[in-house]
Amino acid sequence: MRAYLLVVVVTAVACAALTPLVRRVGTAAHVYTPARQRDMHRAPVPKLGGVAMAAAVLIGLATAGTVPFFHGIFTDDAAVRGLLVAVGIVILVGMADDLWDLRWWIKLLGQCAAALAVAFGGIRIEAMPVGWIPVGSPTVQVGLTVFAIVLTMNAINFVDGLDGLAAGMALIGGSAFFVYSYLLTRTIDQFDYSNLATLLMALLIGTCIGFLPSNHHPARIFMGEVGVLLLGLLMASAAVAVTADLDSLAGLRFRNVPAYMPILLPLAVLALPLADLVLAVLRRTARGTSPFSADRGHLHHKLVDGGYTHAQAVWLLWLWAFLVAWGVVSLNFVDDAIVLPVLALALAAAGWLTLRPLARRRRDARPAARPDQEVR
């Protein structure tokens, strides 16, 4: 655990130190996110914060490469090299989009290229956790991996609409995934606790911790396209890497938790971003517009329009992310009879908090009855 904490600290410190430098560069070069009608900020804010995040991840990964504890991960470095290529593609495509606002299909091609680099490096979906169905065809493995990574990238991108929201949700979900992956590794191998998925989550946690002080409301810098693509890449690559351990999971049960936890937890971590993504695609398709077109119909927009302040909406969505991600991971080490009722009550309370201002606004919007219409 100390080796992972070292990676978290190094990555966090590097990101915290690099972010102000990148902010000054973005300000000097006038690389701003303009205040558009759908946006929540009212003044231009420099972006390219994701460049600092990506650089911190590379520094954290380089640090891990010097620690003997992680020797097993770097012995066959094909996966690491694939990830490095993917991060490089993310930086190039993300910076190009932040600077010149690329067409959606160009960004999609860049996302697919980054995902292919990960897949060709050996991080692939080798088995479907539900039903223990092996995926024997390398072509199918690559296709499923690319789909999972691109989907996750876009899911993270869709929730990046409020200050600190995406980084905070990634931090919450990543911490839950880190705990699960670490416990899983200790159960599978009692002699070597190093694991690529756990290392990737340590990098994600560190870069989010280092970036959030500059990104929380009111944000002084945005992560931009580089940041959201990087978070999606790390999260999805870790989820895919976990599937490689499925053969070792045959006899594994954390207090009778189903064996499909490796796929359930990533879905829980991304529950809100994926829900927002699906709703946005349906909404835009119904209007006859491109699913990749921007609008002001996301979940965070609805909360702010319903009466929550910017900061309150962020904290509420963080609460949802915490309940879902940590509720699922707690099934690994707490009895189901305790977790499920407590989680149900907590989700009900979160639902009440979410819907209360919306219901109040709808009630206040109703026209008042005229005196001659009152029932006597």
**Nearest Cα to Cα of residue 165 among 269, 318, 325, 351:** 318
pLDDT tops 90 at residue 180: no
Question: Is 338 part of any domain?
Answer: no
Question: Is 270 part of any domain?
Answer: yes
d(CA 27, CA 247): 50
**Nearest Cα to Cα of residue 125 among 110, 115, 140, 111:** 140
d(CA 209, CA 174): 11
Question: Is 362 part of any domain?
Answer: no
Residue 295's pLDDT is 57
pLDDT tops 60 at residue 105: yes
Dig out the tokens for 254 from the structure.
């954390």
Q: Which of 45-49, 275-279, 333-337 has the lowest mean pLDDT?
A: 275-279
Maximum separation of any 2 CA atoms in the chain, in Å: 85
Give the Å distances, CA to CA, from 42 to 34, 84, 160, 365. 8, 36, 16, 26
- pLDDT mean over 221-231: 95
Can you give the pTM of this predicted structure?
0.85
pLDDT tops 60 at residue 14: yes
Question: Is 343 part of any domain?
Answer: no
The region that residue 136 occupies, defined by phi over 0 for left and psi between -120 and 50 for alpha, beta otherwise, is alpha
d(CA 178, CA 195): 10
Residue 214's pLDDT is 95
Question: Is 36 part of any domain?
Answer: yes
Share of the chain above pLDDT 90, in %: 44
Total domain count for the chain? 1
Residue 362's pLDDT is 65
Share of the chain above pLDDT 70, in %: 75
- For 112-155, what is each residue's pLDDT tens digit? 999 999 999 999 988 765 555 777 789 999 999 999 899 889 88
Question: Is 83 part of any domain?
Answer: yes
Residue 40: φ, ψ to 5°: -95, -20
Please return the burial class of 114, using the count of CB atoms within 10 Å of its CB with bins 0-12, 13-18 and 19+: buried
Identify the three-state secondary structure at position 133: strand
- Give the structural domain span for 255: 2-297
**Packing angle of the helix pair 271-286, 299-306 (nearest 10 deg):** 90
**Nearest Cα to Cα of residue 179 among 252, 238, 248:** 238
CB 216 within 8 A of CB 35: no
Question: Is 315 part of any domain?
Answer: no
| Pairs from 348-356 (Cβ < 8 Å, separation ≥ 24) | 350/316, 350/319, 350/320, 350/323, 353/316, 353/319, 354/303, 354/316, 354/320
**Nearest Cα to Cα of residue 276 among 109, 170, 103, 157:** 157
- Residue 320: pLDDT band (50, 70, 90) is confident
Question: Is 222 part of any domain?
Answer: yes
Q: Distance of alpha carbon 111 from its chain centroid, rounded? A: 15
